[in-house]
Amino acid sequence: MSSDYNFAYLDEQTKRMIRRALLKGVAIPGYQVPFASREMPMPYGWGTGGVQVTAACLLPEDTLKVIDQGADDTTNAVSIRKFFEKTASVSVTEETTEATVIQTRHRIPETPLTEGQILVYQVPIPEPLRFLEPRETETRKMHALEEYGLMHVKLYEDIARHGHIATAYAYPVKVEGRYVMDPSPIPKFDNPKMEMAGLQLFGAGREQRIYAVPPYTRVVSLDFEDHPFERGGAQQPCGLCAATDAYLDEVIMDDIGTRMFVCSDTDYCRERRDAGHVGEMGVPKAEDAA
Amino acid sequence: MYVAVKGGEAAIENAHSWLDEIRRGDTDVPELGIAQIRNQLALAVDRVMAEGSLYDPDLAALAIKQSRGDLIEAIFLIRAYRTTLPRFGASRPIKTENMACMRRISATFKDVPGGQVLGPTFDYTHRLLDFKLAAEGSAEPALKVPAQTDEVKPHITSFLNDEGLIQSEPQNDQTPPDLTREPLELPASRALRLQALTRGDEGFVLGMGYSTQRGYGRNHAFVGELRIGNVAVEVDIPELGFAVEIADIEITECETVNQFTGSKTEPPQFTRGYGLVFGQSERKAISMALVDRALRWKELGEDDTGAPAQDEEFVLYHCDNIQATGFVEHIKLPHYVDFQAELELVRKLRREANAAKEAAE
């Protein structure tokens, strides 16, 4: 498809600026690098940060996958994928293993990433301390001084009040023993996957920040010795593919409140069903095709 | 059997074509032309140019048509277009003292050199619906006002300056930073604050300005001068060795004169707030001047009273309506995964709270 815009929409000057920020981010894992985020032809909050990072990373030979809530076919994932098909003419895929660049909102794919793959996160609020301290001028100081006491007090208060750390998603992590980082609003179930072979890049468009976790970097979910991090996760297998190791969405089936639990990662679920796994509410693959 | 919802792509395409249809509306009604919008909804066009940070009335009119009259959506279209434009250079500072004024008023002096010109203002209209307009009656031709003279109308605050009664602005020839090309870092210079305010949301800046009048960072303002008119934009062309006029733009400028009894560092004198906006927007220009003045507390050695309008970080991070509307509206996007995580957490906490309650009974 021809396009009046530069490859991947952004001009080369802007891409260079973003790449410089990305390199700085990779060099200082978990540190939020300010960058001159551009106004994109989609609203702030829809993934403008992720889109700019993806645009700066894409090469014509790349294969792109875009997921939102783990699924390739949610409206915004479709829209972002179309955007790059149109402006960069790259090939696209729904298969995690085939993709060289994966842009995601709110999930890490279940299939482990391999070396050479890039995972780009869309980030709404990059500052893990923001809800404890609204001022950017203050939180930057706190990071500089490695002053994370406030965060530990918050976690401690959760335990004192509820017996648990009452954070279910966007659960804060410490990267390579230095910066406390917001992993974006992924469920804490995904946190342990962040120590991976792939390169993880985070883009926050409205807040004008980029940060990164290089491959094989230590990423520790904050906790206490006597209250270790709990990953949480499904209480039952996926209704379609019987997976017990995946993060599940709860779907309301009827007006008397029957529930069904299915993989949020649609590609993982499809792959398992293709391999012959059948959940309690699914049907064997051959029958499905008929 | 459960089948996961598919068809995001078809749904999006259908939504777009429905939107096109509903935008046009009843085809028995003549379609709006860009020229009609530009001429007859000129103040909407001005707002889109001001907050879109792009002076192009035709594009602004197109954006208004495309957005069905949703001005923030129109501003967004203009911003997204603007960011793709190459930059050839910077203009010389515009000279507002040379403005060809269609309106110029002062609330501080009854008469001033250059005179007061009321211009086409709503100020003294009685807000009665004019049903003649509904009947498509044409307006009565205005009494022809004397043509705009080329007479230079000096800034009214300069008369106070002659007496040393008003704080003089430090001269600075540094290239101002560009909010759209560098990430916002705090503390911001005044130039950067003014940039943010002039493209800031009219409603937000209005509310902030209003709050200063009601005591949240009060700064006792008078409109020293408000002027609307056209100014020339000049650009230095290195190959030619001189500046050429590339455009004539309409702007609104407001200078407030603010009472000030002095601080630890500054003597008693009048101080200033400044507002400058593309097109005709007195509301925005006056509000901007009030907020500008409130944000200058540090430089003038005033106390921080904790008022929102004095808080640079609060004002600058929240005045942009494109950022604000994006983030506010994004909560309508799918959040199943986060919600699922919260569901599990709340269920767990409830289970434990109930168990504790039963144990206590």
- A17, A38, A39: best mutation site toward chain B, by most B Cβ within 10 Å? A39
Residues 202-261 of A with CB under 8 A from B: 206, 208, 232, 239-240, 247-251, 253, 260
- Determine the Cα–Cα distance for residues A219 and A196; give it in Å rounded to an integer: 9
Phi and psi at B12, nearest 5°, equal -65, -45
Residues of A within 8 A of B183 (CB-CB) are: 34-37, 208
- Determine the Cα–Cα distance for residues B95 and B232; give it in Å rounded to an integer: 8
- Determine the Cα–Cα distance for residues B162 and B158; give it in Å rounded to an integer: 6
Residues 65-104 of B with CB under 8 A from A: 76, 79-80, 82-84, 86
- SS3 label, residue A119: strand
- What is the per-residue pLDDT across A170-218, written as a single tens digit (0 to 9) for each? 999 999 999 999 999 999 999 999 999 999 999 999 999 999 999 999 9
Inter-chain contact B327–A250, Cβ cutoff 8 Å?
no
The CA distance from B12 to the nearest CA of chain A, in Å, is 7
- Determine the Cα–Cα distance for residues B175 and B177; give it in Å rounded to an integer: 6
- Picking from B2, B12, B352, the nearest residue to A239 by CB comes out as B2
Beta pairing partners, B34 = none
- Picking from A5, A11, A283, the nearest residue to B1 by CB comes out as A283
- What is the per-residue pLDDT across B278-336, written as a single tens digit (0 to 9) for each? 999 999 999 999 999 999 999 998 989 999 999 999 999 999 999 999 999 999 998 98
Residues of B within 8 A of A78 (CB-CB) are: 8-9, 12
CB A133 within 8 A of CB A151: no
Between β-strands A199-204 and A209-213, what pairing exists: parallel, antiparallel or unpaired? antiparallel
Residues of A within 8 A of B341 (CB-CB) are: 168-169, 187-189, 232
Give me A200's structure tokens.
């993880």
Residues of B within 8 A of A282 (CB-CB) are: 1-2
Cis? peptide before B187, omega within 30° of 0: yes
Q: Which residues contact A97 (CB under 8 A, 6 or more apart)?
A: A111, A114
Q: At residue B169, does pLDDT exceed 90?
A: no
With CA atoms as reference, the chain B residue closest to A260 would be B2
Give me A227's structure tokens.
């209250």
The CA distance from A214 to the nearest CA of chain B, in Å, is 24
Q: How many CB atoms lie within 10 A of CB B123?
A: 9
Handedness of CA A81, A84, A86, A92 (dihedral sign): negative
CB B319 within 8 A of CB B312: no
Closest CA to B336 of A94, A126, A264, A172: A264
CB B106 within 8 A of CB B150: no
Phi and psi at B74, nearest 5°, equal -65, -40
- Picking from B11, B79, B86, the nearest residue to A39 by CB comes out as B79
With CA atoms as reference, the chain B residue closest to A107 would be B337
With CA atoms as reference, the chain B residue closest to A77 would be B8
- What is the per-residue pLDDT across A135-180, written as a single tens digit (0 to 9) for each? 999 999 999 999 999 999 999 999 998 888 989 999 999 999 999 9
Q: What percent of chain B stands above pLDDT 90?
A: 66
Inter-chain contact A36–B182, Cβ cutoff 8 Å?
yes
- Determine the Cα–Cα distance for residues A3 and A285; give it in Å rounded to an integer: 40
Residues of chain A falling short of pLDDT 70: 1-3, 285-290
Residues 26-55 of A with CB under 8 A from B: 34-41, 43-46, 48
Task: For chain B, list the strands marked E by DSSP.
Answer: 100-105, 221-237, 242-258, 271-278
With CA atoms as reference, the chain B residue closest to A123 would be B327
Give me B234's structure tokens.
């000049």
Question: How buried is B191 (Cβ within 10 angstroms: 0-12 exposed, 13-18 middle, 19+ buried)?
Answer: middle
Residue B10 has a pLDDT of 86
Q: What percent of chain B stands above pLDDT 70?
A: 95
pLDDT band with cut points at 50, 70 and 90 for residue B69 = very high
Q: How many CB atoms lie within 10 A of CB B263?
A: 14
- Picking from A78, A135, A166, the nearest residue to B12 by CB comes out as A78
- Picking from A45, A73, A137, the nearest residue to B8 by CB comes out as A73
Size of interface A-B (CB pairs under 8 A): 144
Q: At residue B5, does pLDDT exceed 70?
A: no
Question: How buried is B261 (Cβ within 10 angstroms: 0-12 exposed, 13-18 middle, 19+ buried)?
Answer: exposed
Inter-chain contact A79–B12, Cβ cutoff 8 Å?
yes
Give me B59's structure tokens.
């594009």
Residues of A within 8 A of B336 (CB-CB) are: 69, 249, 264
Closest CA to A172 of A196, A189, A188: A188
Residues of A annotated as catalytic are 30, 238, 241, 263, 269
Inter-chain contact B337–A69, Cβ cutoff 8 Å?
yes
How many CA within 13 A on the CB side of residue A265? 26
Residue B1 has a pLDDT of 44
- What is the per-residue pLDDT across B179-221, written as a single tens digit (0 to 9) for each? 998 999 899 999 999 999 999 999 999 999 999 999 999 888 9
The CA distance from A34 to the nearest CA of chain B, in Å, is 6
CA-to-CA separations, B215 to B19, B91, B209, B291, in angstroms, rounded: 45, 39, 11, 13
Q: Which residues contact A252 (CB under 8 A, 6 or more apart)?
A: A258, A259
Give me B347's structure tokens.
């269920």
CB A166 within 8 A of CB A230: no
Answer yes or no: pTM beyond 0.80: yes
Inter-chain contact A68–B345, Cβ cutoff 8 Å?
no
Phi and psi at B176, nearest 5°, equal -70, 150
**Chain A interface includes B19 (CB < 8 A):** no
Q: What rounded mean pLDDT belongs to chain B?
A: 91
Residue with tokens 């090939």: A91
Residues 115-154 of A with CB under 8 A from B: 124, 135-137
CA angle (A10 as vertex; A5, A15 as ends), nearest 5: 145
Residues of A within 8 A of B14 (CB-CB) are: none
Phi and psi at A212, nearest 5°, equal -150, 155
The CA distance from B310 to the nearest CA of chain A, in Å, is 14
Q: How far is CA A50 from the centre of its chain?
A: 10
